[in-house]
Amino acid sequence: MARLVMKFGGTSVADIDRIRNVARHVKREVDAGHEVAVVVSAMAGVTDQLVGWCRAALKEQKVFDAREYDAVVATGEQVTAGLLAIALEDLGINARSWFGWQLPILTSDVHGSARILEVNGAEIVRRFQERHEVAVIAGFQGLHQETGRVTTLGRGGSDTSAVAVAAAVRADRCDIYTDVDGVYTTDPRVVSRARRLDKIAFEEMLELASLGAKVLQVRSVELGMLHNVRIFVRSSFERPEDIDPHGHPPGTLICDEDEIMEKQTVTGIAFSRDEAQISIRQVQDKPGVAAAIFGPLAEANINVDMIVQNVSADGKTTDLTFTVPAADYQRALDTIAKAKATIGYTRLDGATDVAKVSVIGIGMRSHAGVAAEAFRALAERSINIRAITTSEIKFSLLIDAAFTELAVRTLHSLYGLDRATA
Ligand code: ASP
Ligand code: MG
């Protein structure tokens, strides 16, 4: 017997038929003797609609009260939790729905992107044991204890709810049922020879998720790593009856690296086109300049990623190039222009048609020259590299957006990630 958390995303609960399908997935695990807590998202499209209604309700003001935004958007998950509990009861399974405030799932008070502080799993564990009752928990939401108000965790937050619940009830595994059947070496829509990974280490998954792979909310992987919750990403579209609950269903296990026997040098390649490059030309090369540039950007809450400094064309001053999320591009330019007097530069350049390609693998810790191979392979294809950053288990390259697919495909083959048959 195992204790499982099963999480179902929006497309998996998009209509009543699919919710009934989810109920059969849950029944399969219950019948196999497992204790089960289910975490659900809002039905597909519902959260977008709720957010849209919040915006539409606003006419005179620019921003709405984030507490009321949360009051509205938290309802999506509540509907799904209730419906799934009904569908489970209909199959003869004891089930009860739980909202964030009822367990409770305690969070910070940053409405719209609250962080989970603590989950109380005592009552649902008691009910596993005394009534064989399945807990159906609304994802994405929590409670700020001092104010007693409902909070939400940020888009995609149900993944994080699921991992937090799994940690709280000490689940053996957190199964994330989604519309893909696992984590791939790269996006299969770009590289048809992308392979599904059997296992991936928390650290690698954290990099993949942060650098552009959209399988899981980054925060959920962080939590999994912190509490050592084994996360299994699998498809919700298989027929529940076709799955042997004691077998090895297709999917990807995100786990501690000690659990991975065959360590690859490179595990995956992520990419993101949501990048922008800013270059500040002919800056005085003296102490305090970096602070004058990056201080104001930090105050404006703009995340700076890659930073490169090189000698200017005149040989006396320095050029500083860095990247920001494309959405913050204009704001970043304005911020730098405003600080022109304190920074002291001659010109400000920028580009949004850039992409960041990242190569990830814990094997890089013990292998030298991994990045050098990439530089060579991209040079052979005449792909120019605008900026480079490295860390222990990854390196990222900024290139022209037009070459994104070619670069990803080239690197995917280079590191032996291609599937044998296309
Ligand atoms: N329903 C929320 C969203 O769409 C949370 C989630 O699905 O994870 O962001
Ligand atoms: Mg999701």
Ligand 1 geometric centre to CA of 75 (Å): 11
Neighbour-count burial of 210, counting CB atoms closer than 10 A to its CB (0-12 exposed, 13-18 middle, 19+ buried)? middle
* Residue 268 neighbours by CB under 8 Å, 6+ apart: 183, 184, 185, 186, 197, 200, 204, 208, 213, 360, 361, 417
Name residues contacting ligand 1 (CB within 6 A).
9-10, 41-42, 47, 76, 139-140, 155-159
R_g of the chain, CA atoms, integer Å: 24
Integer Cα distance of 164 and 137 in angstroms? 12
Show the tokens assigned to 41. 């998202």
Tokens 């219950």 — which residue? 30
* Ligand positioned closest to the Cα atom of 77: 1
Atom of ligand 1 nearest to the CA of 157: 8
Ligand 2 centre to CA of 313 (Å) is 47
Q: Which ligand is nearest to the CA of 162?
A: 1
Cα(390)–Cα(369) distance, integer angstroms: 12
How does pLDDT run across 17-64, given as a tens digit for each residue? Answer: 999 999 999 999 999 999 999 999 999 999 999 999 999 999 898 888
* Span between the terminal Cα atoms of the chain, in Å: 39
Instruction: Give the global pTM.
Output: 0.91
What is the tens place of the pLDDT at every residue in 326-364?
A: 999 999 999 999 999 999 999 999 999 999 999 999 999
- For residue 155, the ligand 1 atom closest to its alpha carbon is 9
Could you tell me if 270 and 221 are in contact, meaning their C-beta atoms sit under 8 angstroms apart? no
The values of phi and psi at residue 6, to 5°, are -115, 120
Q: Which long-range contacts (CB under 8 A, 24 or more apart) does 365-372 make?
A: 365/392, 365/393, 367/265, 370/265, 370/266, 370/395, 370/415, 371/395
Query: 331: which 2 tokens?
Result: 């704001």
Cα(72) to centroid(ligand 1), Å? 13
Tokens 């083959």, residue located:
413
CA 188 distance to own-chain centroid: 17
DSSP one-letter code for 180? S
**Which amino acid does the sequence have at 37?**
A
- Position in ligand 1 atom list of the atom nearest CA 159: 8
3-state secondary structure of 318: strand
**Nearest residue to 308 (alpha-carbon basis) of 372, 373, 378, 390:** 390
Measured by CA distance, the residue closest to atom 6 of ligand 1 is 156
Contact 64, 58 (CB under 8 A): yes
Sheet strands (E) in 165-313: 173-178, 199-201, 231-235, 252-255, 268-283, 307-311
Which DSSP letter does residue 196 get?
B
Tokens of 233: 């990403």
Ligand 1 mean position, distance from CA 319 (Å): 41
The single residue listed with the structure tokens 């800056």 is: 283
Q: What is the dihedral of CA 237, 238, 239, 244, to 10 degrees?
A: -150
Query: Is the distance from CB of 258 to CB of 310 less than 8 angstroms?
Result: no
- Going from the Cα of 339 to the center of ligand 2, the distance in angstroms, rounded, reads 39
| Ligand 2 center to 294 CA (angstroms) | 32
Nearest ligand to the CA atom of 47? 1
In the reported structure, the alpha carbon of residue 281 is separated from the centroid of ligand 2 by a whole-number distance in angstroms of: 41
Choosing from 40, 70, 140 the residue with most ligand 1 atoms within 8 A of its CB, the one to mutate for a pocket test is 140
- pLDDT (tens, 9 = 90+) of the chain, 422 residues, equals 899 999 999 999 999 999 999 999 999 999 999 999 999 999 999 999 999 999 999 989 888 899 999 999 999 999 999 999 999 999 999 999 999 999 999 999 999 999 999 999 999 999 999 999 999 999 999 999 999 999 999 999 999 999 999 999 999 999 999 988 999 999 999 999 999 999 999 999 999 998 877 889 999 999 999 999 999 999 988 888 888 877 888 999 999 999 998 778 999 999 999 999 999 999 988 888 899 999 999 999 999 999 998 888 888 899 999 999 999 999 999 999 999 999 999 999 999 999 999 999 999 998 889 999 999 999 999 999 999 999 999 999 999 999 999 999 999 999 999 998 75
- The conformation of residue 64, written as its DSSP 8-state character, comes to -
Question: What is the per-residue pLDDT for 130?
Answer: 96
Cα 396 to chain centroid, rounded = 18
pLDDT at position 244: 84
Closest atom of ligand 1 to CA, residue 156: 8
Which ligand 1 atom is the nearest neighbour of the CA of 76? 1
Which pair of structure tokens corresponds to residue 141?
Answer: 């939401």
